[in-house]
Amino acid sequence: MDTATLVTFIVYLAGMLAIGIIGYRMTSNLSDYFLGGRRLGPGVAALSAGASDMSGWLLLGLPGTLFASGFSGAWIAVGLSIGAYLNWQFVAKRLRIYTEVSNDSITVPDFFENRFRDHSHVLRLVSALVILIFFTVYTASGMAAGAKLFNSAFDLTYTQGLWLGAVVIIAYTFLGGFIAVSWTDFFQGILMFFALIILPVIAINELGGWSETMSIVSDLSPGHLEMVAGVGVIGILSSLGWGLGYFGMPHIIVRFMGMKSHRDTGKARFIGITWMVLGLYGAIFTGVAGYAYLNSVDTGIDLANFDSETIFIVLSQMLTHPIIAGILLAAILSAVMSTIDSQLLVSSSAVAEDFYKGLIRKDATDKELVVVARVSVLVIALIAIFMAYDPNSSVFGLVSYAWAGFGAAFGPIVILSLFWKGITRNGAIAGMIVGAVTVVVWHNLSGGLFDLYEIFPGFVLNFIVAVLVSMTGEGPSQEIQDEFEQARQIAEGR
């Protein structure tokens, strides 16, 4: 490892910890810790949502998929782009308004309980359980991505890399809460963006340009240039289905809740979608150009045993100046950190706000709850580290499972809560349970229709069950309907 690369990387880590300390000094109550006091501007909200969304998957998992399978893996990017746009267009503004109108809700389970006036706390409990189960899996994927980075780039063992990455992420999330997480995500989003633009351009230029790169790929494997042939309907639908996940991602939609004003959503949408589309293109071209480069240049790498998810790391070290390499490697850790910190924060909010305060100590003080949340960050992170201990852990596989769980359990309920006055508490509970269970069961089946990505059946069944149960039971109270109309009228500018 070059000294300049190492120094650049260390400076980056020190900067992230400094933001954590600043965030600690700005955090005085529970709303600050979990929602930043609703003070996010459109730029920070947009890049923070994007960075926490994409994770190490964008710089490791997606380039690795394109390296291994070619342009057929790009359907996922199409699905994600559509889903993210629709989420910003239809959910962001209404959710920002409704969560404030509905007793100033600061977490997703909090919003569900207030929205449906669920005094039994069952809805809060079910949604908090979904968060803890699937976010632990999601966090494990980030831990695995961080371990692969340190293992490949710094000659550490997988286990050493796992612990080193975890310590840094836990430190600033533990200290600064939502403010630190959002601002680190903002800077990390900028870093990720430039990394995904710069590296594929360098790689393609090194190969002699775009035409020459595509020619090399065609000679090596013509199938790598096919986006449709050989994929099949189920394969395309499964990839497009990733877009459904956005409507139910707590660590993304909480950024909508944390914005200064619902009037900022249009500007934030433009920034966020532009960042995302260009970043996805960069990841796609990194994977394809990396495939051409490693197969046409004598690099000394054993391709038979090569982990495709490390292609971004390998290209960074081979094609750039040591200082640039340090920045690009920091971008990978940025992607990992920006998602794990958000997941840890949302998970800790479920423990503190939904379990501890909701079920154990209803009169708990804000100071007490912040302490519980910080301890929860440590415990959840340790469980995720244990799950990621296997060096063969797939970043893509872990993300895929967790993404489906959230999309299928929360997505339809978020949409129905914001746009249908008739949904009831029992409908929301039934739909949420059906969606989550469907994902778990479907994930463990294979062959034929069961090869369809589990988010599809989970999302559809959740939606159907929620509507049917709501229509057959007692309708929502007049108080709930009046609050729905209040939120709708504000959203429509009345």
Give the pLDDT confidence of 158-192 residue by residue, as tens digits. 888 888 877 776 765 655 455 555 666 677 677 77
Give the residue with greater pLDDT, 468 vs 143.
468
User: Across all residues in the chain, what is the average pLDDT?
Assistant: 82
Extract the tokens encoding 421.
Answer: 């006055």
> Global pTM?
0.82
Would you say residue 339 has pLDDT above 80?
no
With a pLDDT cut of 70, the percent of the chain lying above it is 85
Mean pLDDT (whole number) for 60-71: 87
pLDDT over 90, % of the chain: 27
Q: What pLDDT is stored for residue 427 in this prediction? A: 96
Q: Which two tokens stand for residue 87?
A: 């989420």
What is the torsion angle, in degrees rounded to the nearest 10, for the CA atoms of residue 478, residue 482, residue 483 and residue 484?
100
Q: What is the pLDDT of residues 427-474, one digit of tens each?
A: 999 999 999 999 999 988 877 788 899 999 999 999 999 999 999 988
Question: What are the tens digits of pLDDT across the range 291-315?
Answer: 999 988 887 787 778 888 888 888 8
Could you tell me the CA-to-CA distances from 256 to 28, 43, 176, 264 in Å, in that order? 21, 12, 19, 10
Q: What is the pLDDT of residues 384-410, one digit of tens each?
A: 888 888 777 666 777 788 889 989 999
3-389, CATH topology level: Sodium/glucose cotransporter (1.20.1730)
Q: What pLDDT score was predicted for residue 409? A: 95
Lowest mean pLDDT among 52-66, 327-341, 382-396, 409-423: 327-341
By the 8 A CB rule, do 175 and 24 touch?
A: yes
For Cα atoms 437, 439, 441, give the angle at the middle one, nearest 5 degrees.
Answer: 70
